[in-house]
């Protein structure tokens, strides 16, 4: 009688043997012991399920550790042509802001005056940089995001009173969050005026009463209503608000501090303040080009009321955001604005160069026209003329899952790779990623063909 076959699971390396490997011990310099042990168990479980052979456990573990960092977030090449891409982390930081983050990661003088040894004003450098970049503001405050800034402004300026807002401005932002819910969540009451498409100054005037605490103007930055429309901005609302001793809050969202010729219809903080807004709110990680932050600019009296409110402590920005905001404003033009102002002729030259390199390497590629977008709730429907490299659409998922993830746009069976948001220094990495994806696609097709032939041969033999 033949001896029973050995259970292959007995050959799976023991945990202590795997932990003793040089490569595994070296990984503990970047990962905690419990994370390393968890990865060891995960690879052993793969072998127990038969996904890999016991003899492959060591190599699989070392490969997993080599690709695993302390954070699960992976750097991505944004080849979509969308500058402020919410799913890809919105604004990429400038080199100056990245260095500032590293410097601020340890102990810093965030609330200490080194000259006197006494407590200093938190974020004084970032505040000074904002006021220098937007002289129309008397004071500035930085909180953790734009939604927090709007909530704080409504609470500090209107309290439990009413905030008057046009129905056409009660927008829904990302992930299903709605501004009406945000405004009312902490107790402020909402007074809607006008209609979806038309709101007149008289609508605001008729709504003002004893319960009114503030008037709010919200920029509908992520969509446009065209046709039979009417709306009132800060220039129209400020005289009415001040006639009734009411503060005017202008939530701009998109992050422009001053007018930009590339986006002539996009409202900016300086213009809103000069028109009479008491508080202007914008985001740090959109067209400002910095980290996630809620930027508050306004009159000294209004900003002071926000800073004194108890909720200000709960939504304040941390030292990393403060450092990155200051460096973004004090340093050279950030990547977001570089992409916005990119020269179409230069984009075409770069695109043709990449397409030619890929074609020479055997990858079918061509240069096609492609319109970029601002994204992130700014410059809605404003096209940014440009170009893209068109490759086989089957490469798109392989590009996203490669060693260097590349996210493009899938359209008409093709994958479009727009270089607007890809730094020139990363072109070689993009080319290598496409070549790797093409090789994986070829290997997968060859493997599928081989398996199909093997199945056909088995079927023939059985027949």
Q: What is the pLDDT of residues 216-247, one digit of tens each?
A: 999 987 777 888 989 999 999 999 999 999 99
Q: How high does pLDDT run on average in the chain?
A: 92
Average pLDDT over residues 129-147: 97
Strand partners, 163: 190, 214
User: Do the beta carbons of residue 192 and residue 220 sit within 8 Å?
Assistant: no
**pLDDT number for residue 448:** 53
b/e sequence 238-261, b meaning 16+ C-beta within 10 Å: bebbeeeebbbbbbbbbbbbeeee
**pLDDT number for residue 460:** 57
Distance CA(241)–CA(47), nearest Å, equals 70
> Dmax of the chain from CA atoms?
103
Residue 456 pLDDT > 80, yes or no? no
Average pLDDT over residues 130-154: 97
Residue 106 pLDDT > 90, yes or no? yes
Task: Pick 7 or 295 by higher pLDDT.
Answer: 295
CB atoms within 10 A of CB 354: 21
Q: What is the pLDDT of residues 276-323, one digit of tens each?
A: 999 999 999 999 999 999 999 999 999 999 999 999 999 999 999 999
Predicted TM-score (pTM) of this structure: 0.87
**pLDDT number for residue 226:** 83
First vs last C-alpha separation in the chain: 32
Question: For residue 70, what pLDDT band results from cuts at 50, 70 and 90?
Answer: confident
**pLDDT number for residue 251:** 96
CB atoms within 10 A of CB 4: 6
Q: What is the pLDDT of residues 176-217, one digit of tens each?
A: 788 889 889 878 999 999 999 999 999 999 999 999 999 999
Q: What is the pLDDT of residues 41-57, one digit of tens each?
A: 999 999 999 889 999 99
> CB within 8 A of 166, min separation 6: which ones?
192, 193, 194, 199, 203, 204, 217, 218, 231, 232
Question: For residue 158, what pLDDT band results from cuts at 50, 70 and 90?
Answer: very high
> CB within 8 A of 149, min separation 6: which ones?
141, 143, 251, 281, 294, 295, 296, 315
Distance CA(310)–CA(295), nearest Å, equals 18
Distance CA(124)–CA(107), nearest Å, equals 16
Domains, in order of start, for the chain? 9-71 (no CATH), 77-85+339-449 (3.90.1150.180), 95-331 (3.40.640.10)
Degrees to nearest 5, angle at CA 90 with 86 and 91: 165
Q: What is the pLDDT of residues 403-450, one digit of tens each?
A: 899 999 999 999 999 999 999 999 999 999 999 999 999 876 655 555
């Amino acid at each position: 009688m033949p001896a029973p076959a050995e259970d292959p699971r007995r050959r799976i390396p023991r945990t202590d043997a795997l932990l003793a490997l040089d490569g595994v011990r070296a990984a503990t310099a970047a990962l905690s012991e419990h994370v390393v042990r968890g990865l060891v168990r995960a690879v052993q479980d793969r072998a127990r399920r038969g996904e890999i052979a016991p003899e492959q456990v060591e190599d699989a573990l070392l490969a997993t550790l080599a690709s695993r960092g302390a954070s699960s977030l992976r750097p991505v090449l944004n080849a979509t042509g969308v500058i402020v891409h919410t799913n890809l982390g919105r604004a990429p930081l400038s080199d100056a802001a990245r260095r500032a983050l590293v410097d601020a990661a340890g102990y810093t003088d965030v609330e200490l005056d080194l000259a006197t040894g006494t407590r200093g004003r938190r974020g004084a450098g970032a505040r000074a940089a904002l006021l220098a970049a937007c002289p129309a503001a008397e004071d500035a405050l930085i909180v953790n995001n734009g939604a927090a800034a709007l909530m704080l402004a409504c609470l500090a300026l209107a309290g439990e009173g009413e905030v008057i807002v046009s129905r056409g401005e009660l927008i829904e932002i990302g992930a299903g969050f709605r501004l009406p819910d945000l405004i009312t969540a902490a107790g402020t009451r909402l007074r809607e005026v006008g209609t979806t498409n038309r709101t007149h100054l008289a609508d605001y005037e008729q709504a003002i009463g004893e319960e009114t605490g503030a008037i709010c103007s919200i920029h509908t930055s992520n969509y446009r209503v065209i046709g039979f429309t009417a709306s009132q901005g800060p220039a129209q609302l400020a005289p009415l608000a001040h006639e009734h001793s009411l503060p005017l809050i202008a939530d701009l969202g998109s992050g422009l501090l001053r007018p930009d010729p590339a986006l002539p219809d996009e409202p900016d903080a300086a213009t809103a303040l000069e028109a009479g807004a008491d508080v202007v709110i914008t985001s740090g990680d959109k067209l400002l080009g910095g980290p996630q932050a809620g930027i508050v600019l306004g009159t000294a009296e209004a900003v002071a009321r926000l800073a004194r409110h108890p909720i200000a402590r709960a939504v304040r920005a941390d030292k990393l955001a403060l450092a990155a905001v200051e460096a973004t404003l004090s340093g050279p033009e950030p990547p977001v604005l570089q992409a916005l102002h990119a020269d179409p002729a230069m984009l075409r030259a770069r695109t043709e160069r990449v397409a030619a390199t890929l074609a020479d390497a055997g990858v079918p590629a061509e240069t096609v026209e492609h319109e970029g977008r601002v994204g992130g709730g700014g410059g809605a429907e404003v096209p940014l003329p440009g170009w893209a490299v068109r490759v086989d659409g089957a490469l798109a998922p392989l590009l996203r899952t490669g060693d260097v993830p590349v996210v493009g746009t899938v359209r008409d069976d093709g994958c479009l790779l727009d270089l607007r948001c890809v730094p020139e220094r990363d072109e070689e990495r993009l080319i290598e990623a496409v070549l790797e994806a093409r090789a994986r696609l070829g290997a997968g097709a060859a493997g599928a063909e081989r398996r199909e032939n093997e199945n056909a041969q088995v079927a023939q033999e059985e027949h």
